[in-house]
Amino acid sequence: MRTDHPLTLTVEQAGHVLGIGRSTAYELVHSGDLKRIHLRRRIVIPVAHLAERLGVTTADVWTVLAAGQVRPPRPPAPRASIGRPGASVLNEAPTLF
């Protein structure tokens, strides 16, 4: 078991542990449902508080985060290129522009 983990998480990391999106995590922070620490303009969530709210150990929180880091990255979305010579056009329908 590692003991060198930081004592705080970013809001995005806390959202990942909770299984919610970034915007919802920030809403919980701003509503006061998640305890936060302000470090100038940065907001961090204490791991101990998050673990306590979930009823798990801090090691469980880090296990969830470590498991999330091995997820394969999403492939980039295809980009439509319209109006450039030699570029393929994904939408064949005529447009006004």
- Compute how many other C-beta atoms are within 10 angstroms of the C-beta atom of residue 21: 12
Q: How many domains does the chain have?
A: 1
Return the HEC string of 54-91.
HCCCHHHHHHHHHHHHCCCCCCCCCCCCCCCCCCCCCC
Could you tell me if residue 29 is inside a domain? yes
Could you tell me if residue 17 is inside a domain? yes
Three-class secondary structure of residue 39 per DSSP: strand
Could you tell me if residue 23 is inside a domain? yes
Could you tell me if residue 59 is inside a domain? yes
Q: Which domain holds residue 16?
A: 8-69
State the DSSP H helix or E strand holding residue 44, giving kind and residue range, or none if neither.
strand 42-46
**Do 65 and 16 form a contact (C-beta atoms < 8 A)?**
yes
| Span 26-83, pLDDT tens digits | 999 999 999 999 999 999 999 999 999 999 999 999 888 888 754 444 566 666 655 5
Could you tell me if residue 75 is inside a domain? no
